[in-house]
Amino acid sequence: MDIWQGTSHNNRGRNPSGIYAIMESLQSSIMSADGQLPSVRARPRLLLMGLRRCGKSSIQKVVFHKMPPNETLFLESTSKITKDNINSFIDFQVWDFPGQIDFFDPTFDADSIFGEIGALIFIIDAQDDYLDALQKLHVTITRALAVNPNIHLEVFIHKVDGLSDDYKIDTQRDIQQRTSDELADVGLDNVTLNFHLTSIYDHSIFEAFSKVIQKLIPQLPTLENLLNILCSNSGIEKAYLFDVLSKIYIATDSSPVDMQSYEICSDFIDVVIDVSTIYGYDRPTPSLPPTSTSTTTPTDPDSAGSIIKLSNGLVLYLREINRYLALICLMRSEALDKHGLVEWNVGCFQKAIEEVFDIEKRSGVPTPGGPEEGGEGVRIELAIV
Ligand SMILES: Nc1nc2c(ncn2[C@@H]2O[C@H](COP(=O)(O)OP(=O)(O)OP(=O)(O)O)[C@@H](O)[C@H]2O)c(=O)[nH]1
């Protein structure tokens, strides 16, 4: 059997016959130049800010606590900063701020709030007059950047469910233009701001959060690389790695994301994971996987999985990777003629993912710090389907 080995980041399209492998050293990318492990850091924070009633608490409840969107109508106004610990494949915190927060109040400790690595998400109610919100956005950005120039700045143009497509685009263009003019006036013309059109009534809020969270995952290039290899060897058209709790996708292969495939994959999680949680085997908390790389890697027989054939000839495939993550793929139905090989490949992928996150745990780096700590160096050997 041929063996192919490589270390490139995008191995798509280079299909060797036989076994495909990437091999890199395990610890090198995590250790610092002097060979020491970095110190343990705090959880990355996502700060939700914006004017009163713009939808901050609703977003937090819908995305991280599975609250049905209609129930957000009854949420009380937030009067003090609420910190929500999210324990998942990476542990992070979501801070919900009261709308009336005053940066010039002496009790507002900007250094400790903006100082930690993470993202600032500013929410603008697109169904309301947004000039006051833009004013607040500019003050917030200026204040945050003064403390932490590396903070990721994200703007959610929110509640767009009530707007026509044309109006959405016009609103986004107007907000972007006004913001960049305003920032240029105060000498902040090189600031990178990311804009997202969101609503809690469809998948857009999950998509936006996926993009925000992905920036906080140092292992992202490795995960994308593993997904690319899995796709090109298993007849998979599109693959997502989802956080099961929030339905945020933390990585996908490098083919373009289309909303329809994302939505169908996201809905599939609800069906399979909910049913398996209610009726399935109650698995214990997983222990850390062994550190050695074995060549016998069957899929965990206890992990939930499901396959649905769609009317357009594609197949929807789900495999639970661990208690936090699920792999969901759209694949050609012919690929299932060699179902055993697909299962083998997914089993290898599952093991590689465990290793990616295990390296972080073993190295004493529980949370991501930056793209230079990419968690690279995981070995995967796949069969060609
Ligand atoms: N149409 C629509 N309404 C939304 C959306 N998100 C939130 N809302 C509504 O907006 C209202 C205010 O939401 P909250 O989440 O309480 O707003 P908040 O920003 O946390 O408010 P404060 O705590 O007062 O700062 C609620 O009635 C929500 O149902 C959305 O995407 N679309």
Mutate to test the pocket of ligand 1, among 51, 72, 197 (most ligand atoms within 8 A of CB): 72
Over the stretch 298-332, which tens digit does the pLDDT of each residue have?
Answer: 445 556 678 888 888 888 999 888 878 899 999 88
| Cβ < 6 A, ligand 1 pocket | 50, 52-58, 72-73, 75, 77-78, 98-99, 158-159, 161-162, 199-201
Mutate to test the pocket of ligand 1, among 48, 49, 53 (most ligand atoms within 8 A of CB): 53
Residue 134 parent element (H or E): helix 131-147
Residues 286 and 371 placed together within one structural domain of the fold: yes
Residues 372 and 224 placed together within one structural domain of the fold: yes
Residues 180 and 235 placed together within one structural domain of the fold: no
Mean pLDDT for the stretch of residues 1-30:
34
CB 78 within 8 A of CB 84: no
Please state which of the ranges 27-36, 151-160, 197-206, 317-326 shows the lowest mean pLDDT: 27-36
Mean pLDDT for the stretch of residues 264-285:
73
Residue nearest to atom 9 of ligand 1 (CA): 55
Residues 201 and 231 placed together within one structural domain of the fold: no
Atom of ligand 1 nearest to the CA of 60: 15
More confident residue, 18 or 304: 304
Last residue of a domain, one of 175, 197, 214: 214
Q: In angstroms, what is the span from residue 72 Cα to ligand 1's centroid? A: 7
Percentage of the chain surpassing pLDDT 90?
31
Atom of ligand 1 nearest to the CA of 76: 16
Q: Which residues contact 228 (CB under 8 A, 6 or more apart)?
A: 10, 11, 12, 253, 254
Alpha carbon distances (Å) from 131 to 165, 193, 196: 21, 18, 18
Residues 327 and 240 placed together within one structural domain of the fold: yes
Atom of ligand 1 nearest to the CA of 201: 31
Mutate to test the pocket of ligand 1, among 48, 56, 58 (most ligand atoms within 8 A of CB): 58
Atom of ligand 1 nearest to the CA of 52: 25
CB 248 within 8 A of CB 63: yes
Domain interval for residue 208 = 45-214
Mean pLDDT for the stretch of residues 138-144:
90
Atom of ligand 1 nearest to the CA of 127: 1
Which parts of 217-282 fold into alpha helices (H)?
A: 220-234, 259-279
Please check the confidence at residue 365 and state whether its pLDDT lies above 50: no
* Closest by CA position to 154, among listed 213, 199, 202, 111: 213
What is the predicted ipTM? 0.98
Q: In angstroms, what is the span from residue 284 Cα to ligand 1's centroid? A: 37
Q: How many CB atoms lie within 10 A of CB 46?
A: 24
Q: In angstroms, what is the span from residue 95 Cα to ligand 1's centroid? A: 16
Q: In angstroms, what is the span from residue 59 Cα to ligand 1's centroid? A: 8
Over the stretch 58-80, which tens digit does the pLDDT of each residue have?
Answer: 999 999 998 999 999 999 888 88
pLDDT band at 162 (very low <50, low <70, confident <90, very high): confident
Residues 176 and 244 placed together within one structural domain of the fold: no
Name the 3-class secondary structure at 70: helix
Q: Which residues contact 312 (CB under 8 A, 6 or more apart)?
A: none
What secondary structure does DSSP assign to 6-61, as a single string?
Answer: E--S--TT---SSEEEE---SSTTTS-TTSPPPPP-PPPEEEEEESTTSSHHHHHH
Residues 119 and 182 placed together within one structural domain of the fold: yes
Residue 71 main-chain phi, psi, to 5 deg: -70, -15
Residues 295 and 226 placed together within one structural domain of the fold: yes
Instruction: Give the pLDDT of residue 51.
Output: 93
Per DSSP, 71 falls in state G
Q: In angstroms, what is the span from residue 69 Cα to ligand 1's centroid? A: 10
Mean of the per-residue pLDDT values for the chain?
77
Copy the structure tokens of residue 30.
């995590």
Task: Write the CATH number for 78.
Answer: 3.40.50.300
Residues 197 and 225 placed together within one structural domain of the fold: no
Residues 119 and 16 placed together within one structural domain of the fold: no
CB 5 within 8 A of CB 22: yes
More confident residue, 104 or 73: 73
Alpha carbon distances (Å) from 204 to 60, 161, 200, 211, 279: 14, 10, 7, 11, 30
Alpha carbon distances (Å) from 202 to 111, 134, 158, 160, 318: 35, 25, 12, 10, 22
Q: Is 262 exposed, middle or buried (0-12, 13-18, 19+ CB in 10 A)?
A: buried
Residues 126 and 69 placed together within one structural domain of the fold: yes
Last residue of a domain, one of 214, 247, 281: 214
Atom of ligand 1 nearest to the CA of 70: 29
Instruction: Give the pLDDT of residue 351.
Output: 87
Last residue of a domain, one of 170, 190, 214: 214
Residues 28 and 111 placed together within one structural domain of the fold: no
